[in-house]
Structure 1
């Protein structure tokens, strides 16, 4: 028996998305305060962030099957600081998960992820000016080497 593990480094701007029954999309918005309430405008190269701006990160996750023990890790660029820094269990739109913000990334731990589309959001504040590359968004089923559907236990 044997195994092979291959690891290499690549420029982050050249990393492409993988597909395996899951689709993860990261959307970035600048939050503008108006008289009618907050408004989200898409972030583009033509409208860069300024120090003090609020950035809303929206992660849209689509799954073609029910999954369990899902870990979603969203790394963030340098120059951005978390606004809400407390970990905790969250519940929205029928999905319960544990959110754990850290220095370099925000982690989402989901015990049961039902088939369909689910959205996660969190807010950051621009603390530095400059040109920064965003980090990777990673998704994996814990306790499994690959994504696996939920199967009933033998005898059920």
Structure 2
């Protein structure tokens, strides 16, 4: 597990507390949810912490969806992913960075001469987690401070 620090350039309208009183951050596009790296935790209301768990990685896709090393790629360090994403998004903007998380395995099969499937190996299946789903705001209450107000 590795922890990265940064901040988001976002708007207050993307914050709310859900029915469970937990903080929700739901920006309507990637620009407002991109984490801009910092070297240490900050004290501002838009400062965040981003945790990459063991077995996960960051993926950068250019505007066409390409993950080639030339314009995108896979990274274990967020700062490297951010550098790669800087100019390969739409109109020269920052490309989407996601966290790729293992999501089980699937068998790789080949048909034998008699038509039966032979298992040749197993491949890992992956799913994408968007940064706004994973980041934690360091200087905002995780639950609604107004919830339960007036209860003794």
TM-score of the superposed pair, with normalisation by structure 2:
0.24
Higher strand share: 1
Choose 1 or 2 for highest CA Rg.
2
TM-score of the superposed pair, with normalisation by structure 1:
0.24
